[in-house]
Amino acid sequence: MIRRIVGLSALVIAAAAPLGAQAYAYPALQPSRIVAREYTFALADVGGGSTGLLVQWREGLGSSKLQLTFDAGFADPDVPAQATRLILGGGVAYQLATATTEMPFDIVLGTGVGVTTGDSTTIRIPFGAAVGHRFPLEGHVAITPFVHPRLSYHRSSAQGRSTSDTKLNVDIGANFEFKPQMAIRVAAALGDDDSVAIAFAWSPMGLRK
């Protein structure tokens, strides 16, 4: 059993299978379970010394396994001469596995594309996997720690010049459910693009978590 878990985890990390709609260098804030509907409001360090405000909308596709994600926001660079950047993104997620007694991890796969514009334009296509486990606590309280390895392709254009590269990051985060429809989510991205984010997540009443 341990060998199967280790093997699956290695496969997920090695393949860097898709997840998320990160349009810029910020944590995906996607835990290891998809939802029917969720609105996330986040404050993030979006890389390069920029502070960003983000709104994420996650919407199920009539299935317990498929979910669309949309990101919108802006980043304010700390460098005075740089313009405020608009952030837009979208993606799809798939619930590959749900925790059982034999395999105690939830796993979400997906892919996305995002763009930021300002003094320059950056297109970002991330591929990754969110792996975690939900631990119910007293009452309606629960915590879901998760990790999210991802590989992303970047293409940036400015003043008629374009560059492209590939980056590897791993998000480490946790989702703290303090009410049935509300949660605080924190994550830090470690790797080629270090960044942090904290968010409030709300799911409308009557929808599954």
What is residue 73's predicted lDDT score, i.e. its pLDDT? Answer: 93
Sorted by sequence, the CB contacts under 8 Å of residue 93 that are 6+ apart come out as 19, 20, 30, 34, 58, 66, 67, 68, 69, 108, 109, 110
Phi, psi of 119 (to 5 degrees): -70, -25
Of 67, 33, 38, give the one whose Cα is nearest residue 55.
Answer: 38
CATH, domain 2-202, list 2.40.128, 2.60.40, 3.40.50, 1.10.4030: 2.40.128
Are 189 and 26 spatial neighbours (Cβ–Cβ below 8 Å)? yes
What is d(CA 150, CA 173) in angstroms, rounded to the nearest whole number? 14
Amino acid at 159: Q
Q: Where are the domains of the chain?
A: 2-202
Chunked into runs of 10 residues, the chain (209 residues) has average pLDDT values of 42 36 74 94 80 93 89 83 85 95 94 87 92 93 96 88 91 94 95 91 74
The confidence score (pLDDT) of residue 81 equals 67
